[in-house]
Amino acid sequence: MNQNLLTVSTSPHILGRTTVRSMYLEYMIALAPALLMGLYYFGAPALITVLLAVASAAVSDFIVSFITKKPSTLSNLHIICLGLVLGQILPPGAPWWLPVVGGALTVFLGIGIFGGIGYYPMNPVLVAWVALAISWPEAMNSFLDPLPLGTEGDWAEAETPLMQLKGDIGTLQAFELGVLWLGKVPGAIGATSSWALLAGGVYLIIRRIIPWQIPIGALLGAVGMALLAAYTDPAIEELGLEGFAAHMDVAWFHLGTGGLLIAAFFVGPEPVSSPVTPWGTLLFGVGIGLMAIIVRTWGGLVDGAFYGVLLMNAATPLLDRIRPRVIGKVVNGA
């Protein structure tokens, strides 16, 4: 047989370097700063939680691939990355079974029953997170006071800024914005260091791993809604905020706390469950921002960012119908 036969196929004959694996690898690179900051503040309990979440997701994936008789897709890092995200949005001092159950729920309930990567309608991490939050509210709401690496002391339970906000509207002014953005406050492992999340998110946008519309939309929506709340909510008016700068501080507080930034940059733009069209992605982002602030200001729950993502996930097929005008398409009567 002739060894020099030529290959014939359709164009294009060259491809870009991005693969599913490299995409999730870059996701993890972008997540790293926030994760490292979380480990720095919350030490061993955080490390154990994250590792358990990742390991549980990986083992669950093996089980799923065994049951469905499909080759394991662990090598494309998709499951690992989702496990990592799950670990980052769990409280640091969680009991050991919480991340284990969470990782299993991510893979079984979030991905497996829908048929794997590309097919699930909702962000699997949030499916697991919501299941945990509904089933074990106490465990999911017990946060630790940050204890940076090297400082002596015992872990102490503490309330996150947003939990304090529920009880006392004055919390809006109780925190130095610098401390808040640095992340030295009680909170989920990888969600407190706002600057690290921002850096990772900007990296993802520059590398074109995520569409820029989702985070920008989320930030715009959150800032807009926070300003609206600051101007109209009587409870906030009692604080006696004067001028735009003071009102903007409310918005900065909201951006720097809770799950908003990790939802805007990492959880929301998760490729499978987010929309693809330019305007669809922008509205998706705006919806996340609005939901986050609405729930925080007027809702019964502590934070609305993740619920916002889930709600917008449900709207994704609708948002994908907002298609741009096709260039060259003949419009009747034009």
Partner 1 sequence: MKLSNWFKGISLPRPPAAAPPVGLPAPEKVYLPLRQHRGAVAEPKVEPGQRVALGQVVGASEEFESAAVQATVSGVVEAIVDTVDPAGEKVPTVVIQNDGADAWADELAGAAILEDPAAVKATRPSHLLRRLREAGLVRAQVQGRPLHVDLSPPMAPQSYLYMTGIPVVRPIDTLIIRAVDVDPPVCPNQSCMGEASQDLAVGVAALARISGAKRVILALPSGVDAAGIAAIAAQYEWEVASVSQRAYPFASDNLLVQSLTGREVHTPYGEPRDVGVLLEPLISALDVGRVLSSGRPVIDRVFSVAGEVKNPQTFRVRLGTPISQVLDAAGGGPSRPGKIIVGGPMMGLAIFDPATPVTRETVGVFVQSAASVVAYADHPCIHCGRCVAVCPVNLIPSDLGKLCEFRMYEDAAEMNLMNCIECGCCAYVCPARRPMVHFLRHGKSEVLAGRME
Print the SS3 string covering the chain: CCCCCCCCCCCCCCCCCCCHHHHHHHHHHHHHHHHHHHHHHHHHHHHHHHHHHHHHHHHHHHHHHHHCCCCCCHHHCHHHHHHHHHHHCCCCCCCCHHHHHHHHHHHHHHHHHHCCCCCCCCCHHHHHHHHHHHHCHHHHCCEECCCCCCCCCCCCEECCHHHHHHHCCCHHHHCCHHHHHHCCCCCCCCCCCHHHHHHHHHHHHHCCCCCCHHHHHHHHHHHHHHHHHHHHCHHHHCCCCCHHHHHHHHHHHHHHCCCHHHHHHHHCCCCCCCCCCHHHHHHHHHHHHHHHHHHHHHCCCCCCHHHHHHHHHHHHHHHCCCCCCCCCCCCCCC
What minimum distance in Å lies between the beta carbon of 263 and partner 1? 18
Q: State the Cα angle at 131 between 276 and 94, rounded to 5°.
A: 110
Establish if 273 lies at the interface with partner 1 (CB under 8 A): yes
Establish if 208 lies at the interface with partner 1 (CB under 8 A): yes
What minimum distance in Å lies between the beta carbon of 281 and partner 1? 7
Establish if 5 lies at the interface with partner 1 (CB under 8 A): yes
Establish if 326 lies at the interface with partner 1 (CB under 8 A): yes
- Select 1 or 15, whichever has its Cβ closest to partner 1: 15
Identify any residues that bridge with 143 across adjacent strands, giving them in sequence order: 158
User: Which one of 146-154, 174-182, 219-227, 276-284 is the stretch in contact with partner 1 (CB under 8 A)?
Assistant: 276-284
Establish if 329 lies at the interface with partner 1 (CB under 8 A): yes
Distance separating alpha carbons of residues 123 and 259, to the nearest angstrom: 15
Residue numbers 29-88 binding partner 1 by CB under 8 A: none
Establish if 325 lies at the interface with partner 1 (CB under 8 A): yes
User: Which one of 3-11, 61-69, 136-144, 307-315 is the stretch in contact with partner 1 (CB under 8 A)?
Assistant: 3-11
Site string for partner 1, 20-39 (x = CB under 8 A): x-xx----------------
Number of residues that bind partner 1 (CB under 8 A): 47
- Select 132 or 288, whichever has its Cβ closest to partner 1: 288
Establish if 330 lies at the interface with partner 1 (CB under 8 A): yes
What minimum distance in Å lies between the beta carbon of 80 and partner 1? 15
CA 320 to chain centre: 20
Q: Work out which of 44, 68, 149, 323 binds partner 1, going by CB under 8 A.
A: 323
What minimum distance in Å lies between the beta carbon of 19 and partner 1? 5
Distance separating alpha carbons of residues 29 and 52, to the nearest angstrom: 19
Establish if 277 lies at the interface with partner 1 (CB under 8 A): yes
Establish if 216 lies at the interface with partner 1 (CB under 8 A): no
Establish if 117 lies at the interface with partner 1 (CB under 8 A): yes
What minimum distance in Å lies between the beta carbon of 305 and partner 1? 21
Establish if 298 lies at the interface with partner 1 (CB under 8 A): no
Binding site for partner 1 (CB under 8 A): 3-16, 18-20, 22-23, 116-119, 208, 211, 271-278, 281, 320, 323-334
